[in-house]
Amino acid sequence: MLIIAGLGNPGSKYARNRHNIGFMAADAIHRRHNFSPWSKKFKAEISEGELGGEKVLLIKPQTYMNLSGEAVGEAMRFYKLQPADLVAIYDELDLPPGKARLKTGGGNGGHNGIRSLDAHCGKEYRRLRLGIGHPGVKELVQHHVLSDFAKADQTWLEVLLETLADNADMLVRKEDSQLMNKLALAVGGKAQEEEKPKPQKKPAAQSHIHQARNQAQPKLPATGPMAEMLKKIFGNKGE
């Protein structure tokens, strides 16, 4: 079983906030696939369904962002799951709007929801970060994350969430790099290609004549009878 936890703050006041992109992602997955109606359990809204042939629990903690781990941790203990069975989806200030990154483990990056998950669920879970951009100065961060997405953001936001929902089964199959490529291409970016070692250049092929010319020539005698004979045959190059 896999838990997909979208992080955010409960209530209509926060529904369209940048900080709630995790909730939006969970809702998009819920709409696209045959999940049960949302119900309340584990201090959260939950919905059960199936992706890629595996049972999945969607969860939206209702504890407010800073205590997200209480809800997710309770669900994990109930189903006897490990951190590897959890995917958390949340907003990332340090990624440009529309960019996505997915990795296992790591630091919380100052994100209070992730700090709470780390404390209650362990750290070795997969983290799907969805970029919301940085306002530029630290003093504006709180206002930025707790403000609604701008109209200009809608051009990438809907596409990103719908593409994630369309390909949510890749999370189950752990096709992480393929999913990142699909999200990047959907919002007009480039696919993330694996770096391949550059092939070493082979020396240009040379004919046997050219090779022979490059070989060291035998040293000719400068004095003596042989030298005199060669001068008569080829002449003196110095003249």
Q: Which residues are catalytic?
A: 19
User: Residue 90 in contact with residue 113, Cβ under 8 Å?
Assistant: yes
* Contact present, 152 and 129 (Cβ < 8 Å): no
Strand order in the sheet with 39-41: 39-41, 44-51, 54-61, 2-6, 86-92, 126-131, 100-104
Backbone angles phi, psi at 90, to 5 degrees: -155, 170
Question: Position 175: which residue type?
Answer: E
Round to whole Å and give the CA distance between 113 and 164.
Answer: 21
β-strand partners of 86: 3
Number of H helices, E strands in the chain: 9, 7
Q: Which amino acid is at 188?
A: G
Residue ranges in the chain assigned as alpha helix (H): 21-32, 68-78, 112-121, 141-145, 154-166, 169-173, 176-186, 208-214, 225-234
The C-alpha atoms of residue 99 and residue 58 are separated, in whole angstroms, by: 22
Whose tokens are 């896999």? That residue is 2
What the block records as the tokens of 200 is 């070493």
